[in-house]
Amino acid sequence: MTANLETVHMRVQHRTAWITLDRPPLNILNVSMMELLDAALERALPKSDILIFQGAGVKAFCSGADVADHAPKRVGKMLSAFHAVFRRLAAAECLTIAAVHGYCLGGGMELATCCDFVLATESARFGQPEIKLGCFPPVALVSLPRLIGMQAAAYLILTGHQINATEAHRLGLVSRVVPDYELPAAVNSLLDELRALSPSVLRLTRKTLARLHSPDFLAQLEEAERLYLSELMQTHDAQEGIRAFLGKRKPVWKAE
């Protein structure tokens, strides 16, 4: 089965789903694309034991959410559309793989690092740059401390610094780093390894891991989303950061 959903392509073969983000050059997610991604997941997950996310083109897996959709009149719809993807993934029973090359930033990093496996090329770059716009990344606030510990998570979230694939692997964000040309082969090798195991046991084991170690994910994501909309987006600096980025100028922060 194959589906072409404009900026999101989905195909399912032998109970393996491939979802490709295709909005070149950086595969930036706008609201429409987020909704298509959620629709693709809704169709693919019941038919799949394994799901792979990848980015089209040579520059990026995904460079995050469209900054224009962070504007006050659009941000609520954007968060609702994007977080629907993570709520669906949290309820999914299949294994998930992110095949990352190039830039993996913001919402793209949140999507990748919420997967069970992250295979990254040597050229991949990871980061949560939202703080530079006067914002914070709601999903990363919940997921990163569990993955890499509070100090490492705070460093990435509070500075917005980018790190390379080797550092991401050292921190535990990446399962394996491969040369750029070996990413397809590395994905296929992992698929062969997983397909040799019991699908039902893999599903149960993944479900148990999630239940034991991230039981509050949905509640914490809802709280992060509430704070984003009710407090963060009411500040001068959050709105100034978005305006400055869109206006291609430096932000003028205001102590409040």
H helix runs in 114-182, sequence order: 138-148, 150-159, 165-171
Give the closest residue to 43 by CA, choosing from 80, 7, 18, 6.
18
What's the rounded Cα separation, in Å, for the pair 13 and 6? Answer: 20
pLDDT tens for the chain, 256 residues: list them: 444 458 999 999 999 999 999 999 999 999 999 999 999 999 999 999 999 999 999 999 999 999 999 988 899 999 999 999 999 999 999 999 999 999 999 999 999 999 999 999 999 999 999 999 999 999 999 999 999 999 999 999 999 999 999 999 999 999 999 999 999 999 999 999 999 999 999 999 999 998 898 889 999 999 999 999 999 999 999 999 999 999 999 999 997 6
Choice among 110, 167, 223, 231 that is catalytic: 110
CA angle 205, 208, 210 (to 5 degrees): 110
CA 62 to chain centre: 8
Q: Is 231 a catalytic residue?
A: no
Residue 154: per-residue pLDDT: 98
Residue 26: per-residue pLDDT: 98
Q: Is 35 a catalytic residue?
A: no
pTM of the model: 0.95
Choice among 35, 93, 130, 256 that is catalytic: 130
